[in-house]
Amino acid sequence: MNAKTMKTIMERIFLECQALREAGQKEYAHDESSIFRNFKQTGQDIQLEKEKVLWIFLKKHLDGILSWINGHKSQREDVSGRINDAIVYLCILKAMADENKANQMSLSDLVEAAPLECRHKSVSFTQSGTMCSDCHRLLPEKSPAVKKAKETYRGIKGV
């Protein structure tokens, strides 16, 4: 196969995956404003992070792909569908990773404005509260340092 053919195939696959993701958004998330809703809700139900829930869903497709690679041909779903599903899940996981990264801030910008009690290098703003990215300890929300960090973060990010 040459590069031009591969480019055409990839463009077709990405269009198929975009349509698949949009259909899944309507079927599972039910909300355009929260693309991770199904993963978060399932995670709350079984006490797992949304990324681990996604991994479980993805793993089913990866297992089917591996089965096909190993010669098992009589599957309920064509391997192409499983591959597209896996691509969509990986794109969603990438979006989760990007969101997590955006929610973390480097304290090097905040050291003077808001030194944190634990003195670690970064914090994450999670659904549970403000967490030290190094020791994963939940920091007191009412502490002046956390309040100041949030104010400074909003200013940096333009939130």
Q: Do 24 and 91 reside in the same domain of the chain? A: yes
Q: Do 34 and 11 reside in the same domain of the chain? A: yes
pLDDT value, residue 115? 44
Q: Do 117 and 87 reside in the same domain of the chain? A: no
Q: Do 89 and 116 reside in the same domain of the chain? A: no
Q: Do 76 and 116 reside in the same domain of the chain? A: no
Q: Do 85 and 115 reside in the same domain of the chain? A: no
The string of DSSP letters for the chain reads --HHHHHHHHHHHHHHHHHHHHHHIIIII--TT-TTHHHHHHHHHHT--HHHHHHHHHHHHHHHHHHHHTT----SS-HHHHHHHHHHHHHHHHHHHHHHHHHEEEGGGTTTT---TT--SEEEE-SS-EEETTT-PBPPTTSHHHHHHHHHHHHHHT-
As for how many domains the chain has, the answer is 2
Q: Do 116 and 65 reside in the same domain of the chain? A: no
Q: Which residues of the chain have pLDDT under 50?
A: 107-116, 120
pLDDT value, residue 37? 87
Q: Do 115 and 95 reside in the same domain of the chain? A: no
Domain span holding position 137: 110-157
Q: Do 130 and 95 reside in the same domain of the chain? A: no
pLDDT value, residue 73? 82
Q: Do 66 and 114 reside in the same domain of the chain? A: no
pLDDT value, residue 11? 94
pTM here is 0.62
